[in-house]
Amino acid sequence: MMLLNSTPLYLGTSGYKYDDWMDVFYPAGTSHYNMLEYYTKHFNLIEITFTFYKIPYAKTIQSILSRTPDNVFFSVRLHKNLLRGRNTQREFNDFLYGLSPLLENNKIKAFFADYNYKFTSCRANMSIIKELAGKLPVEVPFFAELPSSTWYKERYIEEFKENRIGLIGLHLPEIPGLAPFYPVSTNYFTYLRLYGKSRLWVVPDDKDTDYRYKHDEIKKILNRCIDASVLSKGIFISYCNVTGGNAAVNALDTKKIVESEF
């Protein structure tokens, strides 16, 4: 198990199946099927992101599980329909059934809800997040990704802590309206998702993930993470700067830095 300041570290990228990672991370000619095997030789966290767009099939998930080493774990992005509120428990059960091979083998370390930056802070939206958290398995930590800067006020942070809801620390361009970099442990875990600071990302809804972190930037992020995770049971770091293989390169850089400098 990789450790950061004596705390278990789960390190990976947002998804792993990208054609433009060929020759940057994957060896030339690697098939889509074999990408998973290569990825898991290097990282111990797989973020399953396709589940945002479609309900997973248990057969597909079983195939992924069967090709995953015992020391690799998963974080699952929740389906977009589950983020709107007023969902029935049956909708959640259908989603969770597709993930049953992972759940039954205790391979899911986190669920996360990826909200749009237009999902701003208010009582109604806080209720949606709390309702969502209440319909998920209690043994799996739940996190909310909230790109709107309106959420980063003490009263909301305290409410997340009271309800054991994780708040993902987002590393984004410094654009008015977008969240500040705010690593915090509100549910005894720390989760960072790092998108980069592309100069082409100039308005909140015009995302650009073509950015590669430098060594010193990664060290600063890791130090901030350590400060925020003194009482954490686990740390998740996912690189979301996926364009052109940047995420995989930076995750490898992070692994080397953690092993040699921390």
Does this model's pTM top 0.85? My answer is: yes
Q: What is the torsional sign of CA 34, 60, 108, 49?
A: positive
> Strand 3-4 relative to strand 7-14: parallel, antiparallel, unpaired?
antiparallel
CATH of region 3-261, choose from 3.20.20.410, 3.30.70.260, 3.40.50.300, 1.10.10.10: 3.20.20.410
Q: How far apart are CA 20 and CA 25, in angstroms?
A: 9
Q: How far apart are CA 188 and CA 174, in angstroms?
A: 27
Distances (CA, A) of 197 to 123, 208, 230, 256: 31, 8, 27, 22
> pLDDT (tens digit, 0 to 9) for every residue of the chain, 262 residues total?
899 999 999 999 999 999 999 999 999 999 999 999 999 999 999 999 999 999 999 999 999 999 999 999 999 999 999 998 888 888 999 999 999 999 999 999 999 999 999 999 999 999 999 999 999 999 999 999 999 999 999 999 999 999 999 999 999 999 999 999 999 999 999 999 999 999 999 988 889 999 999 999 999 999 999 999 888 999 999 999 999 999 999 999 999 999 999 8
Of 186, 190, 229, 219, residue with least CA distance to 109:
190
Q: How far apart are CA 208 and CA 131, in angstroms?
A: 31
